[in-house]
Amino acid sequence: MKKTLICGLALATAPLAAEADSLRLEWVMQGQFAGPIMALENGWYDEAGIEMELRPAGPDIKPAVMVATEVDTYGIGHPNQIIAARANGVPLVMVSQWGQKAASTYIARKDAGIGTLADMPGHSVGLWFGGDEHEFLAMLNNAGVAQSDVDVVSQGYDIVSWLNGDYEVMQVTRYNELQLVYDNGFAPEDLVFFEPGDYGSALISGGLFTTEEQIAAHPEAVQAAVDASLRGWQAAFADPAAAAEVMVKYNSELDVAFQTRQIEAMKDIACAGPTLEGKFGTTDPADYETAQAILLGAKLIDSEIDLTAAFTNQFVDAAPAEFRDIACE
C-alpha cells in the first residue's frame, strides 16, 4: 500500500495501476470520511478486488464535478447534489446512502428568545450560502415564516461571529461546528435546536455515488466499492476512538479526541431511517422527494426528474449483512 504525504495530509493510495479507481472526499482526510479511510487502512478495497485512491477536496474541488468529468470514479455527495446534476443532464447515481439525517442542524442560545421557528420574525440567522442555505429557508417556509421577516446573514466557516452575537441562530454541522460550540463551554441543554426533519425539510447527509457508465461497465467494481466502504463504516462506528487514531495517521493536523467525537456524530447521522432496521446504506425514496421539492421551491431546477434513476439500492442489498448492521444506541 503506497501512502504519500501532500501538504500535511496523508493521501493514501493503493499501488499505482492504470485501472486504479479513485474516491473524491468532500473535504480533507478526517472522521467525516472514516468509513472509506478505515477501508483503505485495513486493505478492504484490495480484499474486495479493487485498487482505490482517496482524494481530498476543498472549496474549489467539488466531488460531483470531478466524477462527472471522469477525473474521479466515485465521490461523496448528497441527494440534492445528485438531483441537481441529473436535472442538468449529468447522469450521477447514488449507490450507497450513508447519512440518514441532515448533516446540518441550527442552534440558538436558550436566552435568545427563540423557542421555535415561529418565533424567528425579527431575529437573525447565519447560513452558508452557495446552495446550503435552502434547507433552512425551506424550514422557514414550512413553519409559515416569511423570509423577509428574518435577517439572513452569510456566515463564515467558523463560529466566532455567533459567539460574538452577530446573529442569533447558526447553521452547524453535527460533526464539526457543533463540536466546536461544545468546546467553547456550551452544553446541549444550553441550546435550542431547530431540526430540519422536524420541519419536513431535511437534506440528508452524504453517500457514495458514481456514474451510470461506471455502473453499466463495471458493476463488480461498484459492488466492491460499496462493500468495502460499508465495512469501513461498520468498523469506525464500532470503535470511534480506535478509528480516530487512524484518522490522525492520515492527517497529522487532527486531534484524536475531536476526531472521536466527529466519528460519533457521523454515527448519529447514520442512525436513523433504514439503519435502524439493519439496512445501513439503503436509500429511502422519500428523502429524494424532499430534496427535489426543496430544489424546485428554490428554483434551482426547472422541473421534476425521474428520481428512481438518481439512486439504486441494488449494491447495498447485495452487500454482506454484517456490514449493514450498525449498533445504534
The dihedral sign for the CA sequence 166, 204, 67, 263: positive
Q: Residue 164, exposed/middle/buried by CB under 10 A (0-12, 13-18, 19+)?
A: exposed
* Residue that is last in its domain, among 199, 222, 244: 199
Number of domains in the chain: 2
Which run of H or of E encompasses 92?
A: strand 92-96
User: Would residue 89 count as lying in a domain?
Assistant: yes
Separation of alpha carbons 240 and 256, rounded Å: 10
Give me the domain span that covers residue 246.
2-100+205-324
CATH, residue 310: 3.40.190.10
Assigned C-alpha cell, 302: 426547472
Of 72, 35, 31, 49, residue with least CA distance to 235: 35
The dihedral sign for the CA sequence 243, 246, 247, 253: positive
- pLDDT, mean of residues 193-207: 96
For residues 91 and 212, is the Cβ–Cβ distance under 8 A? yes
| Residues 123-170: tens digit of each pLDDT | 999 999 988 899 999 999 999 999 999 999 999 989 999 999 999 999
From first CA to last CA, the distance across the chain in angstroms is: 35
Assigned C-alpha cell, 3: 501512502
| Residues 219-256: tens digit of each pLDDT | 999 999 999 999 999 999 999 999 999 999 999 999 99
What is the model's pLDDT at position 5? 26
For residues 97 and 202, is the Cβ–Cβ distance under 8 A? no
Tell me, yes or no, whether 83 and 114 share the same domain.
no
Tell me, yes or no, whether 278 and 165 share the same domain.
no
What is the model's pLDDT at position 19? 65
CA angle (288, 291, 296) in 5-degree steps: 125
* Residue that is last in its domain, among 149, 168, 199: 199
* Residue that is last in its domain, among 166, 199, 232: 199
Tell me, yes or no, whether 93 and 219 share the same domain.
yes
| Residues 2-56: tens digit of each pLDDT | 332 223 333 333 333 336 899 999 999 999 999 999 999 999 999 999 999 999 9
Q: What is the pTM of this model?
A: 0.91
Tell me, yes or no, whether 95 and 221 share the same domain.
yes
Could you count the other beta carbons within 10 Å of the beta carbon of residue 235? 20
Among residues of the chain, what percentage have pLDDT more than 90? 91
What is the model's pLDDT at position 130? 86
Give me the helix-helix angle, 240-250 and 34-41, nearest 10°: 80
Tell me, yes or no, whether 126 and 37 share the same domain.
no
Kindly report which listed range (56-60, 122-126, 303-307) carries the lowest average pLDDT score.
Answer: 56-60
Tell me, yes or no, whether 195 and 213 share the same domain.
no
User: Would residue 329 count as lying in a domain?
Assistant: no
Tell me, yes or no, whether 161 and 72 share the same domain.
no
